[in-house]
Amino acid sequence: MNSEPTINYCTIKDNGYYGIMAYNSYSTNWSNVDFLRNTIRNNGYYGMAIQNSSPTMEDNEISSNGYYGIYGIFGSKPVLSENRIFSNSSHGTRWYSSSSPSLYGKISYDFGGCNDIYNNGGDGVYASNSSYPKLGSSSAYPGNNNIYNNSGYEVSNRSSDLIYARYNWWGSGGPSPSDFYGAVSYLPYLSEQCGIASASSGESPAIQVENSPAYFNAMGLQQYGNGQVNTALQMFIHVLNNFPNSEGAFFALQHVIEIMREIDQQDQILPFLAELSSNNVGTPLHWYADLQRVFILERAGNYEDAIQLIESVLQDSTIDAETEYATTLHRAMILSNGLQQNNAAIQAYTEFLASNPPVDLAIIAQGELERLTGLPLPQGLGKRAVEETSITQLPDKFGLTQNYPNPFNPITSILYDLPEKSMVVLKIYDLMGREVITLINKVENAGFKNVMWDGKDKYGRALSSGMYLYRINAVSKETEKRYHETRKMVLIQ
């Protein structure tokens, strides 16, 4: 919770939940580097969890973590330059709840962002819930990142407005539309990797339909890239005034706040947001403006005011389910890490986990709950990253470990060992022997493994409290040796 933490030249590995959690930390001077040349690997879930924070990150290796390389949430806006993010079991980077990182570089580098994001088990860059990573908008603000060979999409945009990802290298064959999900502007692209003097290829798509929020947002970015900051500000404010019911208004508001900071109008941001909220009662822009106020109040240490505003947001009938989950977790985070009201926070995290939240949010809640209650992690959980190539010592025999935690609500980790490349089937059953869900059904390389279960069946329905069985069947592809074992676990809803 230091406003300007610094971690440099460290190896951070084998932790149960996160390698690093940055909470309510930010740089007041973009020329400072908060996380420099660290190796962050083999952590149980997230290499870095960044919450309402805007650190600068340069030349870090973030690899082989059990879920995401970087998870940014709650209005986080870090600046990433020259980082290597690879071989994480799911997404390389995941951005959620109005988190919009800069991967084109605010620091003065010869090659802009120049981040390498590759060989991750999910998407290279995944953004949702009004998050818009800045991956390059023009030749003046190029991405200059190398994003390639990820198992899912290179960039996945689950928000409604456009993500600009221009002047990046997408692999030796160039980009294909199938490499992207949602509205992503990935042309022009670099014909060579960042760090090599390269030409761009492809043409930018035509600007959106005139008199639409997308059109004015695109024009605002264009004016900003041309150095016309005040004109850009007016374009974004035009979207707020004329299209308050569109998600384009969320995109515009993020840029209004950033420009106001840039032109030294920081003291006017909170009054501006309060007026915007008041003028748009009954629309999503009302609660979205209030959420931006929460982020600012929290950073200033005004935790009581932030909590009161969150309570108001959660009572708004127009809030969507995804934002409601994130905001409920944010409330618990402020109780624990801001106000340090541990008993209230424990109750809030427990109630949140009982509401069947998305898995990535449940991981944060469970980690914080275990930190507050002092519940110890089992030996070796932090070493169970799915990407086994980073682990030099392989298991010498098959094994299925007791799930952790147990009992659990609603998320638990199931650990198993494969001494050889094997065909693996891991299923959950109820006590009547009926199959609930199949968690694993594929060939996996040798290594220490970790799979999560969120207490839901194959149809996504939350299950009732009770005892369940989990069973593994593995057949070695090398020796045909067979292994099976069944264990019990208790779900408490």
Number of domains the chain contains: 2
Task: Please give the model's pTM, rounded to 2 decimal places.
Answer: 0.75
Say if 230 falls within a structural domain. Answer: no
Instruction: Decide if 9 is inside a domain.
Output: yes
DSSP secondary structure string for all residues of 173-219: T---GGGEESSEE--SEESS-TTS---EES-PPPPPPTTSHHHHHHH
Q: What is the pLDDT of residue 208?
A: 53
CATH number at residue 453: 2.60.40.1220
pLDDT of residue 373: 77
Structure tokens at 447: 């290594």
Q: Please say which residue of 203, 225, 257 terminates a domain.
A: 203
pLDDT beyond 70 at 411 = yes
Q: How confident is the model at residue 72 (pLDDT cuts 50, 70, 90)?
A: very high
Whether 297 maps to a domain, the answer reads no
Q: Is 279 domain-assigned?
A: no
Sign of dihedral through CA atoms 445, 449, 454, 457? positive
The pLDDT of 380-388, averaged and rounded, is 36
For range 356-376, the mean pLDDT: 81
For residue 441, being part of any structural domain is answered with yes
The answer to whether position 197 is within a domain reads yes
> Is 60 exceeded by the pLDDT of residue 205?
no
- pLDDT (tens digit, 9 = 90+) per residue, 122-163? 999 999 999 999 998 877 788 899 999 999 999 999 987 889
Parent domain of 402:
393-491
Q: Is residue 328 part of a domain?
A: no
257 in any annotated domain:
no
**Strand-strand pairing, 68-73 and 46-51:** parallel
Q: What is the C-alpha separation between 33 and 106, in angstroms, rounded? A: 11
